């Protein structure tokens, strides 16, 4: 794609539940993207302490290709954002899916890096090509490892499927015990093997003989026309 691949990185860390290292995750993602051969094709747009209206405004303003959420999840309710006082504000899974269905624009991938978010991911793929969620609790260390490897792989031009698989492999090789937790889901009819976000690197064409040159000369054709034990689940009940 010709325009930058915009990653809207949203993070929430309410003060009334266990604190998690969303700042570390953002730092690692940024650093790892900068290592990639396609790094100039990415634009990482971070927003912290996100409230529901910030989610809507971010989608409207940036029209991202990837939406990444770092924060808490819930087994039944949805993702956990913040209210104006920094306290817990839950966005229901159905409401999140409806919002993304309306403001899908450039959106091709949604990453919910929070506990128990596979359910939300399933609803999102009714309209969005790919969504990644977690089918269990996920600790800070595992969340950071997976996200950093996923985006580094995309920045090296790998497909979404390959980047996901490499993230899972890293969870296993790092001994986190979380290799089976991430889940990649797709919209019906989407061929994962063909989902690439980066543009292929252009190659200079080889010189070719122009039969119209009396001298037999060549001309070049221009065809460039530390371990943290915190869990990312919301330890509260919602009525």
Summarize pLDDT for 22-45 with one digit per residue, the tens.
Answer: 999 999 999 999 999 999 999 999
Question: Does position 17 have pLDDT exceeding 60, yes or no?
Answer: yes
Residue 153 has pLDDT above 70, yes or no: yes
What is the per-residue pLDDT for 227? 33
Tokens of 86: 């920094």
Burial 122-157 (b: 16+ CB within 10 A, else e): ebbbeebbbbbbbeebbbbbbbbbbbbbbbbbbbbb
Domain boundaries, the chain: 5-219
Q: What is the pLDDT of residues 98-124, one digit of tens each?
A: 999 999 999 999 999 999 999 899 999
Average pLDDT of the chain, as a whole number = 87
Would you say how long the chain is, in residues? Answer: 239
Band of the pLDDT at 54, cuts 50, 70, 90?
A: very high
DSSP state of 218: E
CA distance 112 to 133: 5
Predicted pLDDT at 232: 67
Q: What is the pLDDT of residue 167?
A: 97
According to the model, what pLDDT value does residue 75 have? 77
Q: Phi, psi at residue 176, to the nearest 5°?
A: -80, -20
- 8 has a pLDDT exceeding 70: yes
Looking at per-residue pLDDT, the higher value among 185 and 222 belongs to 185
Protein fold of 5-219? Rossmann fold (3.40.50)
Percent composition of the chain: helix, strand, coil (DSSP 3-state, to 5): 30, 20, 45
- Averaged over 77-86, what is the pLDDT? 94
pLDDT at 185: 97
Which of 51-55, 119-123, 129-133 shows the lowest per-residue confidence on average (mean pLDDT)? 119-123
Of the candidates 28, 111, 126, the one whose C-alpha atom is nearest the C-alpha of residue 65 is: 111
Q: What is the model's pLDDT at position 233?
A: 67
CA distances from 211 to 204, 206, 218 (A): 21, 16, 9
């Amino acid at each position: 794609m010709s325009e930058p691949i915009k990653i809207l990185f949203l993070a929430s860390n309410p003060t009334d539940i266990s604190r998690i290292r969303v700042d570390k995750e953002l730092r690692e993602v940024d650093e790892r993207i900068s290592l990639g051969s396609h790094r100039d094709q990415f634009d990482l747009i971070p927003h912290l302490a996100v409230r529901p209206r910030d989610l809507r405004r971010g989608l409207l303003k940036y029209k991202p290709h990837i939406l990444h959420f770092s924060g808490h999840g819930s087994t039944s309710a949805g993702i956990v954002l913040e209210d104006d006082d920094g306290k817990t504000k839950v966005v229901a899974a159905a409401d999140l899916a409806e919002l993304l269905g309306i403001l899908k624009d450039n959106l091709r991938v949604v990453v919910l890096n929070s506990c128990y978010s596979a359910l939300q991911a399933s609803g999102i793929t009714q309209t969005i090509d790919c969504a990644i969620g977690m089918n269990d609790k996920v600790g800070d260390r595992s969340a950071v490892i997976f996200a950093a490897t996923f985006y580094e792989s995309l920045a090296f031009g790998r497909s979404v499927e390959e980047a996901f698989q490499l993230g899972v492999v890293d969870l296993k090789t790092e001994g986190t015990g979380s290799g089976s937790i991430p889940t990649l889901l797709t919209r019906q009819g989407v061929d994962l093997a063909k989902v690439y976000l980066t543009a292929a690197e252009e190659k200079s064409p080889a010189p070719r003989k122009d039969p119209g040159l009396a001298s037999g000369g060549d001309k070049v054709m221009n065809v460039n026309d530390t371990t943290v034990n915190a869990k990312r689940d919301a330890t509260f009940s919602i009525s």
